[in-house]
Amino acid sequence: MSDNGLAILEELEILEPVEDAGEDYPSHIGLLGRAIGLGKAEDTDILPSIPAALNPFLTSLFPVLFVNRNLRIITTNQSCDKLFAGFPRMQGNYFFDIFGKFFQVEDIRKIRETIVGGKNGYSWKGETRIKSHDMATVQTRVYIFPAEIVKKPEQFVVMFDDVTEENKRLLRAVFLSLLEASKLKDNDTGKHITRVNYYSKRLAEELYYSLGPQYPNIDADFIDNIGFLASMHDVGKIGTPDDILNKEGPLSDWEWTVMREHTKNGAFILSTYPNPMAKEIALAHHERWDGSGYPFQLEGEMIPLAARIVSVADVYDALRMQRSYKPSLSHEVSVSKMMEERGTHFDPFLIEVFRIIADEFDKIFETNRDNG
- Give min distance, CB of 192 to Fe ion, in A: 6
Return the closest-CA partner of residue 286 out of 298, 275, 302: 298
- Count of residues engaged in binding Fe ion, rule: CB under 5 A: 2
Neighbours of 172 (CB within 10 A): 14
Give CA–CA dist 222/199, Å, rounded: 14
Q: Which residue lies nearer to Fe ion by CB, 64 or 282? A: 282
CA-to-CA distance for 86 and 93, rounded, in angstroms? 15
* CB nearer to Fe ion: pick between 21 and 312: 312
**At its nearest, how many Å lie between Fe ion and the CB of residue 317?**
7
Neighbours of 200 (CB within 10 A): 27
Closest CB to Fe ion among residues 69, 286: 286
Could you give the string, one character per residue 312-351, with x where binding to Fe ion holds by CB under 5 A and - elsewhere?
A: --x-------------------------------------
DSSP states along 121-189: GG-EEEEEEEEETTEEEEEEEEEEEESS-SSS-SEEEEEEEE-HHHHHHHHHHHHHHHHHHHHHH--S-
Q: How far is the CB of 352 from Fe ion (least distance, A)?
A: 23
Interface with Fe ion (CB under 5 A), residue from 234, 280, 287, 347? 234
**Would residue 237 show up in a list of annotated catalytic residues for this protein?**
yes
Taking alpha carbons only, the member of 310, 315, 248, 313 closest to residue 283 is 310
Q: Which stretch binds Fe ion (CB under 5 A): 65-73, 131-139, 144-152, 232-240?
A: 232-240
The stretch near Fe ion (CB under 5 A) out of 90-98, 245-253, 309-317, 347-355 is 309-317
Return the range that interacts with Fe ion (CB under 5 A); candidates 87-95, 159-167, 233-241, 360-368: 233-241
Q: Could you say which of 110, 183, 201, 237 is catalytic?
A: 237
The SS3 assignment for 326 reads strand
Sheet with strand 124-132: strands edge to edge: 73-76, 64-68, 155-162, 135-146, 124-132
143 forms beta bridges with 125, 159
Identify which of residues 219 and 314 has a Cβ nearer to Fe ion in the complex.
314
CB of 260 to Fe ion, least distance (A): 9
Binding range to Fe ion, per CB under 5 A, among 18-26, 146-154, 226-234, 304-312: 226-234
Which residues of the shown chain bind Fe ion in the complex (CB under 5 A)?
234, 314
Q: Which residues are catalytic?
A: 237
